[in-house]
Amino acid sequence: MSVLVDKKSKIIVQGFTGSEGTFHAEQMIAYGTNIVGGVTPGKGGQTHLEKPVFNTVDKAVEKVGADTSIIFVPPAFAADAILEAAEAGIKVIIAITEGIPVKDMVKVKEYLASKDCVLIGPNCPGVISPGQAKVGIMPGFVFKEGKIGIVSKSGTLTYEAADQVVKAGMGVSTAIGIGGDPIIGTTTQQAVEMLMNDPQTEGIVMIGEIGGDLEAKAAKWVQEYGTKPVVGFIAGQTAPKGRKMGHAGAIVGGKDDTAEAKMRILRECGITVADSPAEIGEKMKEAINVLA
């Protein structure tokens, strides 16, 4: 079983005919992902990569039954693209776009609260369920089928964690790159809950970074409700206070925002903490074997 996306997902690409949308759509199709079409205003009725192009998401839902969308739309228009997808009834919206203004995301977050959909991102690598569907920009060959779920703010560390898990003799059920912006659709806790509730996921890797309290909230949820082993890693252990590191949301604002403080909270909540990404696979393997 997979979380969020699988072989049955009917996926459209918003920003389909642009350079980024084209490149990554080709990669997703080559992986075996069920791309059923795309949206580019003004190009409806055309075909692209042998798939139909629609002017609106609503028309894509009507004509090909789209239920999932991946967004490669420039930052100034990306928030509207998310709103359009939600309004059209898309259930899973994956926003890859980086640099969406915070004020735009505030409006998006408020609007989506009343909608029956899940937003992953923005500024994220997407979601992959190996052997089922790759809806994102990650290198598919790194991910092998298995029973370890991954939740990460970082794209690069998502790939590294998958590689470590595979090298340790395990594989990945679903990897969710939630994004590193200050305002994102799905939190660390929400993603962990999805994987905790997935019967085919036996363990979870949770990768966070400095800034914010998403990891602390997730850790406290795991302490109270968790039923599977969780291995955590926090990036930014050498980051100077007050300086943004990589992601817009990765900035230390208080004493609990540091990597050291987050690692302490994770340990206090019963999560196995890896001090280095290179330890993730072996730590997960040990945690799984303890329960065997």
DSSP assignment of 106-140 equals HHHHHHHTTSS-EEE-SSS-EEEETTTEEEESS-G
Q: Which of 59, 247, 262, 285 is catalytic?
A: 247
In the residue annotation, 48 being an active-site residue is answered as: no
The band of 256, judged by pLDDT with boundaries at 50, 70 and 90, is low
Mean pLDDT of 236-265: 65
**CA 129/CA 131 separation, integer angstroms:** 6
For 70-99, what is the HEC assignment? Answer: EECCCHHHHHHHHHHHHHCCCCEEEECCCC
CA-CA-CA-CA torsion sign (36, 41, 44, 46): negative
Helix/strand/coil percent split, the chain, to 5 = 35, 20, 40
**CA 17/CA 31 separation, integer angstroms:** 19
Query: Quick one: which of 84, 112, 256 has its CA closest to 184?
Result: 112
Mean pLDDT of 173-202: 96
At residue 238, the pLDDT reads 56
pLDDT surpasses 90 at 151: yes
Domains, the chain, ordered by start: 11-120 (3.40.50.720), 138-291 (3.40.50.261)
pLDDT surpasses 90 at 145: yes
Mean pLDDT of 85-98: 98
Tokens of 270: 């019963």
Mean pLDDT of 55-62: 98
Give 277's contacts (C-beta < 8 A, 6+ positions apart). 157, 160, 161, 164, 233
The pTM of the full predicted model, rounded to 2 decimals, is 0.93
Cβ contact 121:152 at 8 Å: no
**CA 102/CA 105 separation, integer angstroms:** 5
